[in-house]
Every structure is written in structure tokens, then in C-alpha cells.
Structure 1
Amino acid sequence: MTIQNLKSQNLILFEVISGSKSFGLNTPTSDTDIKGVYYLPKEKFFGLDYIPQISNETNDEVYYELGRFVELLLKNNPNILEILATPEDCILYKHPLMEQLRIEDFLSKLCNDSFAGYAITQIKKARGLKKKILNPMEKEKKSLLDFCYILKGYNSVAVPQWLEENNYKQENCGLINMPNSKGMYALFYDSKNSLGYKGIVQKTTSNEVSLSSIPKGENDIAYLSCNQDGYSKYCKEYKEYWDWMEKRNEDRYNTNQQHGKNYDSKNMMHTIRLLQTAEQILATGKLNIRVSNRAELLDIKAGNKEYDDLLEMADGLIASIESLYDSCTLPETPDVEKSTRALIDIRKELYR
């Protein structure tokens, strides 16, 4: 099913403008994100074709099946609670049956972990981007050969350099394992390429070195060390970096470049907002997602704060949240039985 199917079949129960516009943090360049709740046609819900979530290609329009929505509410998922707590001026449509799902029935001490935990994830994202900005990777990918070294006394030389210095070809080399020595190999060389050696690697994309059958009487000419773990780590970072380069939001990236603080300022803004929201929930027992400190948060988004100052601010909020947790009057968890009854009542009415 598609979002268009939901709309053409009148399956949408709740539809809101979410994100920066619902938070009161939108600017002239802000996108419009749409979130919502739907129910499935009877044959799909009772059959095998259950669909918990539907979104468009850019993921700026996401709709949750009613049961999935309630399930995530019970887990105090920040994004889902914020949908239910959307201000009236951002609600596009609300089916009368949705009145049975009230935000106060779901808020609990679980918000301490869900909101603060999500904020910590945002900090990791900001640090990850900082690492990418400060450590750009060459487009030409290294091969396993670049992580192999020839031992020379108490030192070592990179295999590509050693091959060039000795006018050797890697495909004429043969390797055998060194016993009891992980990543260590004895290296043989066949200048005529007549002994069937497999080379150090068979392809530039190889993930491991090649081993050869060495005829008796042949003498090794060197010992080779292969840092295969280092190569695996490099391949993972290379993929992450170039995936990020391909998918990054250019406007957002340019903003981060212009303010020169080498962190993702939008992520850090949301980190502080999430922590402030968790503090609000534990202090008041309520959730109001429309921020009262718009100027402060947009100042963070613009990169006008030092990264270390923001981390200190986050630490202060976390300490406040931990202090409020013990005195908070919210239940430990939402009332599952009550929420389940509401869900059943809504479904009975929908499928009557």
C-alpha cells in the first residue's frame, strides 16, 4: 500500500505537521514533515498482509498503523509521543475515535530512558559527523596490500613501497602461513611466474591474502605482516563516509562548514531540545512540544555555541533529569491494560 491508497480509501485516522513546524523551530528553509496514523482494510488486518508503517521515498511523510502506533506509545518513543502531543494548529485531521488515545495515559518514567537515550544517540551522531568533516577520505579506495608490511629488522616497510623498490610484482609472490603467528606469512618470489604462485592478493578487492603451494627447496625472501582487522575497519569507515557524502543534506552541511565548529549543529539543537523535553515531562507530568526557548535553540542550530559548552549544557540537563526522576509522580510504565482496551474499542468501531 501507498500513502495515496490510504487517502483514497479514507483509512487515515490522524494526520499532523511534525518536526520543526510543530516545535516552533521552523525557518524559511524548513521542510514540511507529515506524520500520521491509519488503519488497514479488514481483509489486510485479519489476513496475512499486515503493514505496520508506510512512508514516501524521502521519509518526510510517515504513517503508522494504529496498533503499531499504540505499541510505540507504550514504549514512550519520543517521535510517537510528539505526534500525539502535536499542537492544534499543526493537526491536519483527527478522527473522533482518536480522542480515546490521550497523551496523559502514556507518559511515564520510561521517558527518562527514551528521550535521554535518544539525545545521547544524537550526540554520537554529532561526533560522528565531526570525525567525517575533520578526516575526509580519498575517493580511491585502498586495497588490502596497503595494510600489509614487510619486516625489516626492527622496522617494517609498506608492501607497495617494498614491491616498487625491488621491482617486484605482487602477482609473482607466494605466501604460506607462519605457525602460531596470526597475520604473519613467509613470502617467496618467482621472477619467471612459472611456479603457480597466487600472489599476495588475487584481486584489488580481496578481503584476505592468498596462500600458495610452495615447492620444496624454495627459499623465502621476506616475512609479511597483514593487518586484516585494520583493513576491515577501513572498509567500514570508507563505506560510511561515502554513503554520507552521497546522501548528506548540502544546505545542512554547508551551514556546518560555515560556522566552522566541526559538529552537526542541527543534531546538537535536537539533543538539547530532547533533554529539555525529558526534564519538562518529569517535572510537570505533561508534554508540550512547542518550545519556549526558540531563540536559544536556533542559536545552537546556527553554530553559535562551542561544542564543549553544549556538552556541558547537556550534562547539566542529564543531572537535572536524574534528580527529578526520584521525585516524579508519573507511573513507572504506562497502563498497558487501559491502552489495550482503548485500542480494542477503536478497532471494534472501525471494523463493525
Structure 2
Amino acid sequence: MTIADLRRQNLILFEAVSGSRAYGTNLPHSDTDLKGVFVLPEDQFFGLDYVPQIANETNDEVFYELRRFVELLLKNNPTALELLGTPADCIVYQHPLFAQFQAENFLSKLCRQSFAEYAVAQIRKAKGLNKKINHPEPPARKSVLDFCYVTVGAGAQPVAGWLARHGYEAAQCGLANVPHLTDLYALFVDATPEQRHGYRGLVRDAETSQDVQLSAVPRGEQPVAYLSFNRNGYSTFCRVFREYWEWVAKRNAERYQNTVNHGKNYDAKNMLHVFRLLQMAGEIAETRQLSVRRPNREFLLQIRRGEFDYETLVAEAEQLVSRVEAAFAASALPEAPDKEAAEQVLRRVRQAFYETARSEEYRSA
């Protein structure tokens, strides 16, 4: 089933322009996102193939099935709640039955988690992006040997430098476990001209190996030093390196270029949403009202244009988080929406929708 099928079969309960155009923070080149609610055909709803939501290929048009929509409302999901607060100029279509869903019947203290904690996650994301921009990973991946150090007196040296200073090749070296000591190895060097000991080197392949390599050491051989493999450091590097280059491959080119252009090294659109979500959360706690169209458009657009320093915005956002937490602690909102009342509305709307559909089919027959 596609969105075109929903339109053709008159299954849509509600359709609206969402995102920046609903918030009032859109720019001339902003995309037009659509969100909506639909009702599955009656025979399909009672069958096995329940469809919770339908989206287009770019995911900028998303429609939720009625049951899924109510489930999201009961969780105080911001996307679902914002549909109930859609400004009039953004409503594309509204079935008369949809009026039975009102935001004030669903707002609760769960909004602290769904709005404010999501905003906190966005702050962390912004910090991570700041780090990626200011501390890019090199294109060449480090190897296991870059995390290996050889004991020298009371200190240690990187293994590559130690080998070079002593005129050794990694291939003539062998490693053996040191009992009771994790990631510490006795390092042996085969100094015989023909390398008759047959040591296997430090790693199997310097570029692809994920671990050091052990060798069989003849009895009586003495280690020339001890090698420590910083396994945790190597594991952390691999994760950060992978995440960085996955981010490079998947990042939104336009948003990244905007970040580069304003020179403040944070995703401005991401930070805009941090403040929008926190401000909405505070309003919900204090007024028990949901205001999707933002009254401080210019301030939010200043954030989007990168007119504030990153550190300043993060500090202000963290202060706003504290105020939101206090507002919810003092709020008279219920702890959670009334599930039983929501289910009654769900049943009533679905039954009425199906009855109307059957009547129209009867009249057209």
C-alpha cells in the first residue's frame, strides 16, 4: 500500500504540512514535509497484515495508521502531538471525525521525557558533530602496531620507533604470552642470519590484522623486551574511525556545507530543534498548551544561520533543560494520558469511519 493508494481509496483522516513550515522556521529553499493519519480498509484491519505506517521513498511524507497514531499519542511522541497542534494554514485535509482528537486530552508529564530528553540527546549529538568537525579522522586507518609499545627501562616506546632504533624488522620478531598479565607479551628477536627460529612476526598483516600474533619460541631463548598492546585504545579508535567515516558517507551535504559556511562548527539546524523542543516542553508544563508555530522565529533562524557560538548555545540549552525539569516537577499535568479514554475515542472514530465507508459503498452500488 502506498500514499497514492490512501488518497485513491479515501482512507486519509488527516494530512498536514509539517516540519519547518509548521514551526514557522522555513526558508525559501526548505523542503515540504507531509504528515498524516489514515485508516486501514476494514477487511485489511481485521486480517493479519496490519500496516502501522506508510512513507514515501525519501521519508518526507509519512502517514500513521489510526491505531499507531493513538499509540504514539499515549507516549506523548512529539511528532504525533504536533499533528494535533498543526497551524490552520498547514492543514491540507481534515476529516470531521479527526476533530475528536484534541492535544489537551493527551498532554502529560511524559512530555518531559519525549520532548526534553530528546532535546538533550540532540545536544549530545551536536557535541559529537562538533568533535567530528574539529577533530576529523585521517583517511588512513591505524593498525594494531600503532597501539603497541615496548618497555624501555622504566618507560615505553612505540614499537615502530623501537624497531627502527635497534635495526630490527618486525618479521624477525616473535611474541609469547606472559602468564597472568593481560595484553603483555615477551618479545623475542631472531638474530640468526637465516632466521632459523621461524618467528611469525608481530602481526599477520599490518593493515588488516585485529590482534598481535604469537610465535613458538625455542626453549632457552630470552626475551629482549616486553611489548604491551593497548587493546582498549585500539578498540575505541576502530569504533570512532568507523563512526566518523560512516558519518561522512551519510551526512546531509547541504547541512554540512551550511555548517562549514557559518564557521561555528555545529549543525545549526540540529541546534535549532534543541531550543524549539525545550521551549515547547516548558510551555506544555506551564500552560498545558501545545504551540507548534513558534513565536520566536527570528531567534531560531539566528541559530540556524550560525550567529551564536557553539559553547554559548550549549550552555543556554543546558540551563533551559534545568528550567524545564523544574517546570514539570511543579506541573499539574497528569503523569500519563488516560489510556482508557483514548481507546474509547479510537474505537468510536474507527467504527464511525467504517460505517460511513459502508454507507457510501451501498449508495454507489
Q: TM-score, normalised by structure 2?
A: 0.88
Structure-to-structure mapping, 1:1-352, within 5 angstroms? 1-42=1-42, 44-190=44-190, 192=194, 195-203=197-205, 204-350=207-353
Q: Indicate the SS of the match to 1:175.
A: strand
Change in Cα spacing, 1:142 to 1:84, as seen in structure 2 (3 Å) is same
Q: How many residues end up aligned between the 2 structures? A: 352
Q: Deviations over 1:189-228 (max 9, x none)?
A: 3464654544322232232222233232333232111011
C-alpha distance in 1, partners of 2:215/2:44?
A: 58
| 1:40 counterpart SS class | coil
Code of the aligned partner of 2:103: I
Consecutive unaligned residues in structure 1, runs of 5 or more: none
- String of CA shifts for 1:165-192, please: whole Å, max 9, x gaps: 4454434432221122221111223464
- One-letter amino acid of the structure 1 residue matched with residue 146 of structure 2: D
Matched residue of 2:186: which SS? strand
State the Cα distance separating 1:25 from its structure 2 match: 0.4
For residues 283-324 of structure 1, what are the alpha-carbon distances to aligned partners after superposition, in whole Å with 9 as ceiling and x for unaligned? 211101001111111011111112333234324433432343
Separation in structure 2 between the aligned mates of residue 44 and residue 190 of structure 1, nearest angstrom = 74
Structure 1 distance, partners of 2:144, 2:116, is: 41
- Aligned pair in 2 of structure 1 residues 237, 57: CA closer, same or farther (>3 Å)? farther
TM score, norm. by length of structure 1 = 0.91
The alignment yields a C-alpha RMSD, in angstroms, of 2.3
Q: How far apart are the structure 1 equivalents of 2:165 and 2:7?
A: 69
What is the identity, as a one-letter code, of the residue corresponding to 1:30?
S
Offset, 1:60 = 2.0
Q: Show CA shifts across 1:83-114 (max 9, x none).
A: 22211211222233322222111111211222
Separation of aligned partners in 2, 1:99 and 1:64: 16
Report sequence identity in percent: 52
- Decide whether the 8 Å contact of 1:148 with 1:159 is kept in 2: yes
User: Measured at CA, do residues 223 and 76 of structure 1 come closer, stay the same or move farther in structure 2, by a change above 3 Å?
Assistant: same
Letter in 1 for 2:73: L
- Structure 1 pair 145/317, CA: closer, same or farther in 2 (3 Å)? same
CA contact (8 A) 1:33 1:60 kept: yes
Give secondary structure in 2 for the equivalent of 1:252: helix
